[in-house]
Amino acid sequence: MCVLFVPTVLLLFPSSRELTMVNETQHTCSTSSSSKSDGGSSSGSESSKDSSRCSTPVLDADRHERLREKMRRRLDSGDRWFSLEFFPPRTANAAVNLISRFDRMAAGGPLFVDVTWHPAGDPASDKETSSMIIANTAVNYCGLETILHMTCCNQTKDDITANLQKAKRLGLKNIMALRGDPVGEEWEEEVDGFNYAVDLVKHIRNEFDDYFDVCVAGYPKGHPEAESYEADLRHLKEKVLAGADFIITQLFFRSETFLKFMKDCQAIGITCPIIPGIFPIQGYHSLRQLVKLSKLEVPQEIKDVIEPIKDNDAAIRNYGVELAVSMCRELLDSGMVHGLHFYTLNREVATTEVLKRLGMWNEDPRRPLPWAVSAHPKRRVEDVRPIFWASRPKSYIYRTQEWDDFPNGRWGNSSSPAFGELKDYYLFYLKSKSPREELLKMWGEELTGEESVFEVFTCYITGEPNKNGHKVTCMPWNDDPLATETNLLKEQLEKVNRRGILTINSQPNINGKPSTDPIVGWGPSGGYVFQKAYLEFFTSSEIVTALLKVLKKYELRVNYHIVNVKGQNITNAPDLQPNAVTWGIFPGREIIQPTVVDPVSFLSWKDEAFALWIEQWAKLYEEESPSRMIIQYIHDNYYLVNLVDNDFPLENCLWQVVDDTFELLNSPTQK
């Protein structure tokens, strides 16, 4: 298992100190040279003998920076940014939806998201809905820089330490340190206990040194329980002096409120970033609820507008957007504000709209790599993955979460990755997003034979409704509709699926398109991206027999792996070597090869790919039902095949391979 060889690294490269030094140098440089995201740094000296040569891909400076550094860099460069606050959902289904929302909102380019801490909701547990697990999902599976809220009152030191340790283990690097609401009306300070957020800040710094970036809350109108506005400012300063890195404020209704607060903070020597918390009003009830909790007063001019339209949700939301946009504009125009923090209430529309109107929604987020990157600090070097999980990146991240190091630059022959077991398969974020009824409509209430399965695959490819008029928008192996890139192959894919080549993954060959290409591009601009044509499908043993004969003709050009559920494995791949199928060449960088066809991982993927037939499809039907038996038959008898056309500069020959196969099957001698 991968874990095994970390000590090797440690043994071989004891001089991690120098590595840090280089990092720091870079940091200084990039800070001072400001707006460029990869400003040059020429200094740095190291004893080289011991440094690992294989540890630093760096497609994106951001991946190596702490949150406070990212913030600082944007402050220096004047780049504007935003962040999004979510609370943990109540049900597992709501969690699935929230995660989809993370993915969609990640597209806009938030600097970070934060997840609130609900003491009543078992926040540190492993429940699907706990604060801890939602934050874990955001950072690891959605690749989002994440702040986890944490409260301290009414908790023991040991519990708090354990929670922080757990957060650290999960890859969380940022904590919002809060007091939390005392239980009961009468609250008394505990001696040596955690009575205020400042106690938690101190504890974090004492126990975890500089590991976490720590955020604290600021109250533009003063904390409702503070003796005075001034006293509250002094408490805030104490929190900063105790080690907080930046401040996020409570919501407010007028830009003057925040700007005054900011000046007052500066006046008493608070120099860290202060980020205004923006609350786009989204409805009458949510506003009332929030106001009640925060003990804030809604200005009369707002009340005047809202009261008359309180039953018209759309009207209130439109007004809320309008209000938020103009307030944000005032904040940004002041020159004192670069980042905006949004209280989303777990909703998308209003916040997205505000950001779009402000021009801060990133419409064209560049993919750093052609798959979902995890934001876990230990995965920062990761830049190669097997292509098999292209449509199931969360499953890949999940199954490799125990790895102690991640491939960087080269997958390597000896990687022999231990993938997590399928027993954990039912965790909510690996399930289909769609409910059973919807899946049945898409995949068929009743199957009549293998052909009805072919039809489901075909409908998924074409986007046409099935015979009952339902569009097939997802498959067990693809939770989303066809990728734009795959659309390039649509016509061919349709043809082969109709005939029982049940495709689950494919990519066209690409011979040096610009890295900015809207469909196949990825990575920094100025580069060129390449791909070998790839086709992965399930098919019957009859077709496999013919295919193998045909493949002899293509022996030098096409690499194949053909495996059934029992693990019978036929391949012409040299040794156990991976085949790079996606790579990019960039100015001033080493080659990046983000996806490979790795013979060893394919056998792990095989287990997952076959299991999906049963777990996601067969189990929709009654046991012993004909529909279930059809899927079971396919599961037991079909082969999973992948083909790579190595001659990427020529026309993709894989369609010809398939055509030849059918021709052979239809030839009289064959019959």
Question: In angstroms, what is the minimal distance from the CB of 414 to a second copy?
Answer: 4
User: What does the alpha-carbon distance between residue 454 and residue 540 come to, in Å, rounded to a whole number?
Assistant: 12
Annotated active-site residue in 85, 145, 353, 382: 85
CB of 45 or CB of 271, closer to a second copy: 45
Does residue 599 bind a second copy (CB under 8 A)? Answer: yes
Does residue 349 bind a second copy (CB under 8 A)? Answer: no
β-bridge mates for residue 213, sequence order: 174
Task: Please give the span between the terminal C-alpha atoms of the chain, in angstroms, as a whole number.
Answer: 48
Residues 221-280 that bind a second copy (CB under 8 A): none
Check if the beta carbon of residue 561 is closer than 8 Å to that of residue 352: no
Please list, in sequence order, all residues whose beta carbon lies within 8 angstroms of the beta carbon of residue 185, skipping any fewer than 6 positions away.
none
Compute the half-sphere exposure of residue 478: CA atoms within 13 Å on the CB side of its CA: 21
Residues 528-587 that bind a second copy (CB under 8 A): 528, 530, 556-557, 559, 563, 567-569, 571-580, 583, 585-587
Between β-strands 81-86 and 339-343, what pairing exists: parallel, antiparallel or unpaired?
A: parallel
Residues 20-49 that bind a second copy (CB under 8 A): 21-23, 26, 38-42, 44-49
User: Which tokens hold the place of 414?
Assistant: 């000896």
Interface segment toward a second copy; rule CB under 8 A; list 224-232, 244-252, 253-261, 598-606: 598-606
Question: In angstroms, what is the minimal distance from the CB of 646 to a second copy?
Answer: 4
Question: In angstroms, what is the minimal distance from the CB of 593 to a second copy?
Answer: 5
User: What does the alpha-carbon distance between residue 212 and residue 173 come to, in Å, rounded to a whole number?
Assistant: 5
Residues 170-209 that bind a second copy (CB under 8 A): none
User: What does the alpha-carbon distance between residue 521 and residue 463 come to, in Å, rounded to a whole number?
Assistant: 24
User: Which tokens hold the place of 472?
Assistant: 């097939």
Does residue 12 bind a second copy (CB under 8 A)? Answer: yes
User: What does the alpha-carbon distance between residue 617 and residue 628 come to, in Å, rounded to a whole number?
Assistant: 8
Does residue 18 bind a second copy (CB under 8 A)? Answer: yes
Interface segment toward a second copy; rule CB under 8 A; list 195-203, 318-326, 413-421, 462-470: 413-421
Handedness of CA 410, 412, 418, 422 (dihedral sign): positive
The dihedral region occupied by 588, where left means phi > 0, alpha psi between -120 and 50, and beta the remainder, is left
Question: In angstroms, what is the minimal distance from the CB of 13 to a second copy?
Answer: 7
3 state SS of 430: helix
Does residue 393 bind a second copy (CB under 8 A)? Answer: no
Residues 352-371 that bind a second copy (CB under 8 A): none
Does residue 2 bind a second copy (CB under 8 A)? Answer: yes
* Among the listed residues 5, 208, 454, 633, the single contact to a second copy using CB under 8 A: 5
Please list, in sequence order, all residues whose beta carbon lies within 8 angstroms of the beta carbon of residue 259, skipping any fewer than 6 positions away.
331, 334, 336
User: What does the alpha-carbon distance between residue 133 and residue 169 come to, in Å, rounded to a whole number?
Assistant: 12
Question: In angstroms, what is the minimal distance from the CB of 210 to a second copy?
Answer: 21
CB of 447 or CB of 580, closer to a second copy: 580
Check if the beta carbon of residue 635 is closer than 8 Å to that of residue 531: no
3 state SS of 61: helix
Residues 490-529 that bind a second copy (CB under 8 A): 511-512, 526, 528
Q: How many CB atoms lie within 10 A of CB 628?
A: 18
Question: In angstroms, what is the minimal distance from the CB of 125 to a second copy?
Answer: 27
> Catalytic annotation on 85?
yes
Residues near a second copy (CB under 8 A), total = 96
Interface segment toward a second copy; rule CB under 8 A; list 5-13, 109-117, 169-177, 320-328: 5-13
Does residue 50 bind a second copy (CB under 8 A)? Answer: yes
* Among the listed residues 343, 396, 648, 662, the single contact to a second copy using CB under 8 A: 648
Question: In angstroms, what is the minimal distance from the CB of 374 to a second copy?
Answer: 17
Does residue 590 bind a second copy (CB under 8 A)? Answer: yes
CB of 286 or CB of 569, closer to a second copy: 569
3 state SS of 506: strand
Residues identified as active-site: 85
